[in-house]
Protein backbone atom coordinates (compact mmCIF):
# COMPACT_ATOMS: atom_id res chain seq x y z
CA UNK A 1 0.00 0.00 0.00
CA UNK A 2 1.37 3.43 -0.84
CA UNK A 3 1.63 6.27 1.65
CA UNK A 4 -1.39 8.22 0.42
CA UNK A 5 -3.63 5.16 0.64
CA UNK A 6 -2.34 4.40 4.15
CA UNK A 7 -3.18 7.95 5.25
CA UNK A 8 -6.67 7.72 3.75
CA UNK A 9 -7.43 4.25 5.10
CA UNK A 10 -5.86 4.41 8.57
CA UNK A 11 -8.57 4.35 11.23
CA UNK A 12 -8.77 3.62 14.96
CA UNK A 13 -9.92 0.00 14.97
CA UNK A 14 -11.39 -1.39 18.19
CA UNK A 15 -11.78 -5.10 17.38
CA UNK A 16 -8.80 -7.33 16.64
CA UNK A 17 -8.37 -11.02 15.98
CA UNK A 18 -6.97 -12.37 19.29
CA UNK A 19 -5.56 -15.46 17.54
CA UNK A 20 -3.59 -13.62 14.87
CA UNK A 21 0.14 -13.31 15.57
CA UNK A 22 2.47 -10.97 13.71
CA UNK A 23 5.72 -12.62 12.74
CA UNK A 24 8.84 -11.47 14.58
CA UNK A 25 10.19 -10.28 11.23
CA UNK A 26 7.14 -8.10 10.62
CA UNK A 27 7.34 -6.65 14.09
CA UNK A 28 11.04 -5.86 13.72
CA UNK A 29 10.44 -4.21 10.35
CA UNK A 30 7.60 -2.12 11.75
CA UNK A 31 9.72 -0.94 14.67
CA UNK A 32 12.76 -0.33 12.45
CA UNK A 33 10.70 2.06 10.35
CA UNK A 34 9.24 3.75 13.42
CA UNK A 35 12.70 4.49 14.78
CA UNK A 36 13.30 6.72 11.75
CA UNK A 37 10.83 9.20 13.24
CA UNK A 38 12.23 12.65 14.00
CA UNK A 39 12.87 14.06 17.48
CA UNK A 40 14.09 17.46 18.56
CA UNK A 41 17.90 17.50 18.72
CA UNK A 42 17.75 13.82 17.70
CA UNK A 43 17.40 12.84 21.38
CA UNK A 44 15.19 9.85 20.47
CA UNK A 45 13.41 10.15 23.81
CA UNK A 46 10.70 7.60 23.10
CA UNK A 47 10.74 4.29 24.96
CA UNK A 48 8.41 1.58 23.64
CA UNK A 49 7.21 -1.11 26.02
CA UNK A 50 6.00 -4.12 24.02
CA UNK A 51 3.64 -5.95 26.36
CA UNK A 52 3.80 -9.66 25.57
CA UNK A 53 2.84 -11.27 28.90
CA UNK A 54 -0.83 -12.32 28.75
CA UNK A 55 -1.43 -11.76 32.46
CA UNK A 56 0.05 -8.26 32.29
CA UNK A 57 -2.09 -7.52 29.24
CA UNK A 58 -5.17 -8.54 31.22
CA UNK A 59 -4.14 -6.28 34.10
CA UNK A 60 -3.67 -3.40 31.67
CA UNK A 61 -7.10 -4.09 30.19
CA UNK A 62 -8.63 -3.82 33.65
CA UNK A 63 -7.24 -0.28 34.08
CA UNK A 64 -8.17 0.66 30.50
CA UNK A 65 -11.96 0.56 30.80
CA UNK A 66 -11.91 -3.12 29.80
CA UNK A 67 -11.15 -2.25 26.19
CA UNK A 68 -10.73 -5.49 24.25
CA UNK A 69 -7.93 -4.25 21.98
CA UNK A 70 -5.55 -4.26 24.95
CA UNK A 71 -5.61 -8.06 25.10
CA UNK A 72 -6.68 -8.92 21.55
CA UNK A 73 -4.25 -6.99 19.37
CA UNK A 74 -1.18 -8.81 18.05
CA UNK A 75 1.10 -6.08 19.38
CA UNK A 76 0.46 -3.77 22.32
CA UNK A 77 2.91 -0.93 22.82
CA UNK A 78 2.95 1.46 25.75
CA UNK A 79 4.54 4.58 24.32
CA UNK A 80 6.64 6.29 26.96
CA UNK A 81 9.36 8.92 26.95
CA UNK A 82 12.49 9.49 28.97
CA UNK A 83 12.22 13.08 30.22
CA UNK A 84 15.96 13.18 30.88
CA UNK A 85 17.22 11.60 27.67
CA UNK A 86 18.69 14.96 26.71
CA UNK A 87 21.32 14.67 29.47
CA UNK A 88 22.03 10.93 29.31
CA UNK A 89 25.12 10.55 27.13
CA UNK A 90 23.91 13.09 24.54
CA UNK A 91 27.01 12.57 22.42
CA UNK A 92 25.57 9.23 21.29
CA UNK A 93 22.85 11.08 19.34
CA UNK A 94 25.48 12.79 17.17
CA UNK A 95 28.33 10.25 17.16
CA UNK A 96 28.39 10.14 13.34
CA UNK A 97 28.88 13.88 12.98
CA UNK A 98 32.19 15.79 12.89
CA UNK A 99 33.59 16.94 16.24
CA UNK A 100 33.11 20.59 15.29
CA UNK A 101 29.37 19.97 14.95
CA UNK A 102 29.25 18.02 18.22
CA UNK A 103 31.02 20.88 19.99
CA UNK A 104 28.17 23.14 18.88
CA UNK A 105 25.14 20.86 19.27
CA UNK A 106 25.84 19.22 22.65
CA UNK A 107 25.90 22.50 24.63
CA UNK A 108 22.83 23.62 22.67
CA UNK A 109 20.92 20.53 23.84
CA UNK A 110 21.84 21.25 27.44
CA UNK A 111 20.91 24.92 27.16
CA UNK A 112 17.55 24.09 25.62
CA UNK A 113 16.37 21.54 28.20
CA UNK A 114 18.17 22.15 31.51
CA UNK A 115 15.85 23.56 34.16
CA UNK A 116 12.86 23.56 31.81
CA UNK A 117 10.63 20.74 33.06
CA UNK A 118 7.64 21.78 30.97
CA UNK A 119 9.73 21.86 27.80
CA UNK A 120 11.02 18.37 28.61
CA UNK A 121 7.46 17.07 29.07
CA UNK A 122 6.15 18.88 25.99
CA UNK A 123 8.95 17.41 23.91
CA UNK A 124 8.21 13.93 25.27
CA UNK A 125 4.58 14.16 24.17
CA UNK A 126 5.47 15.59 20.77
CA UNK A 127 7.99 12.84 20.15
CA UNK A 128 5.57 10.09 21.16
CA UNK A 129 2.87 11.57 18.95
CA UNK A 130 5.21 11.58 15.97
CA UNK A 131 6.40 7.99 16.45
CA UNK A 132 2.81 6.86 17.05
CA UNK A 133 1.74 8.27 13.69
CA UNK A 134 4.73 6.63 11.99
CA UNK A 135 3.81 3.30 13.59
CA UNK A 136 0.16 3.59 12.55
CA UNK A 137 0.91 4.48 8.94
CA UNK A 138 3.64 1.85 8.63
CA UNK A 139 1.32 -0.76 10.15
CA UNK A 140 -1.42 0.15 7.68
CA UNK A 141 1.02 -0.06 4.78
CA UNK A 142 1.95 -3.55 6.00
CA UNK A 143 -1.69 -4.66 6.07
CA UNK A 144 -2.36 -4.13 9.77
CA UNK A 145 -4.73 -1.89 11.67
CA UNK A 146 -4.14 0.09 14.83
CA UNK A 147 -5.77 1.94 17.68
CA UNK A 148 -4.09 4.77 19.61
CA UNK A 149 -5.35 4.84 23.19
CA UNK A 150 -5.46 7.32 26.06
CA UNK A 151 -8.54 5.83 27.73
CA UNK A 152 -6.80 4.32 30.72
CA UNK A 153 -5.50 5.09 34.20
CA UNK A 154 -2.05 6.50 33.47
CA UNK A 155 -0.76 6.07 37.01
CA UNK A 156 -1.92 2.45 37.17
CA UNK A 157 -0.34 1.66 33.80
CA UNK A 158 2.90 3.23 34.96
CA UNK A 159 2.94 1.02 38.04
CA UNK A 160 2.16 -2.12 36.04
CA UNK A 161 5.03 -1.55 33.62
CA UNK A 162 7.36 -0.32 36.40
CA UNK A 163 7.83 3.07 34.76
CA UNK A 164 10.99 4.85 35.99
CA UNK A 165 10.48 8.13 37.86
CA UNK A 166 12.02 10.21 35.08
CA UNK A 167 9.75 8.76 32.38
CA UNK A 168 6.15 9.48 31.36
CA UNK A 169 3.47 7.42 29.64
CA UNK A 170 2.11 9.11 26.52
CA UNK A 171 -0.37 6.56 25.14
CA UNK A 172 -0.90 2.92 24.30
CA UNK A 173 -1.01 1.66 20.74
CA UNK A 174 -2.70 -1.60 19.71
CA UNK A 175 -1.74 -3.12 16.34
CA UNK A 176 -3.12 -6.22 14.67
CA UNK A 177 -5.67 -7.72 12.28
CA UNK A 178 -9.08 -6.09 12.47
CA UNK A 179 -12.16 -8.30 12.79
CA UNK A 180 -14.61 -5.44 12.27
CA UNK A 181 -14.31 -2.17 10.37
CA UNK A 182 -13.87 1.11 12.19
CA UNK A 183 -16.93 3.23 12.80
CA UNK A 184 -17.68 5.81 10.12
CA UNK A 185 -15.68 9.00 10.46
CA UNK A 186 -17.39 11.14 13.07
CA UNK A 187 -17.15 14.37 11.12
CA UNK A 188 -14.08 16.08 9.77
CA UNK A 189 -13.91 19.86 10.07
CA UNK A 190 -13.60 21.67 6.76
CA UNK A 191 -10.15 23.00 5.93
CA UNK A 192 -11.44 26.58 6.07
CA UNK A 193 -12.25 26.08 9.78
CA UNK A 194 -8.73 25.09 10.77
CA UNK A 195 -6.36 26.76 8.29
CA UNK A 196 -5.37 30.35 9.01
CA UNK A 197 -3.08 32.59 7.02
CA UNK A 198 -0.38 34.50 8.88
CA UNK A 199 -2.41 35.27 12.04
CA UNK A 200 -5.57 34.41 13.94
Q: How far apart are CA 70 and CA 140, in angstroms?
A: 18
- CA–CA separation, 83 and 168 (whole Å): 7
Give me the phi and psi of 181, to 5 degrees please. Answer: -70, 160
d(CA 104, CA 159): 39
Identify the three-state secondary structure at position 148: strand
Rounded to whole angstroms, the Cα distance separating 125 from 35 reads 16
| Three-state SS at 36 | coil
**Domains observed in the chain:** 3-178 (3.40.109.10)
pTM exceeds 0.85 for this model: yes
d(CA 200, CA 183): 33
Whose CA is closest to 104, among 118, 96, 94?
94
Angle at 67 between CA 160 and CA 145, to 5 degrees: 105
Annotate 3-33 with b (16+ C-beta within 10 A) or e (fewer): eeebeeebbebbbbeeeeebeeebbeebbeb
SS3 call for 123: helix
pLDDT in tens, the chain (200 residues): 889 999 999 999 999 999 999 999 999 999 999 999 999 999 999 999 999 999 999 999 999 999 999 999 999 999 999 999 999 999 999 999 999 999 999 999 999 999 999 999 999 999 999 999 999 999 999 999 999 999 999 999 999 999 999 999 999 999 999 999 888 889 999 999 999 999 99
pLDDT at 174: 98
Interior CA angle at 126 toward 98 and 168, to 5°? 100
What's the confidence (pLDDT) of residue 22?
97
Per-residue DSSP letter, 97: S
Closest CA to 37 of 132, 143, 125, 170: 132
Amino acid sequence: MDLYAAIEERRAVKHFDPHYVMTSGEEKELLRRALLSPTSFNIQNWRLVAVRDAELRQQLREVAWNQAQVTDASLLLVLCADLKSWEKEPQRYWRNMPLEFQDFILPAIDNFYRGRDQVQRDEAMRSCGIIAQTLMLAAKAMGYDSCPMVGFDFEAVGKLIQLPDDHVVSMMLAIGKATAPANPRGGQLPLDDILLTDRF
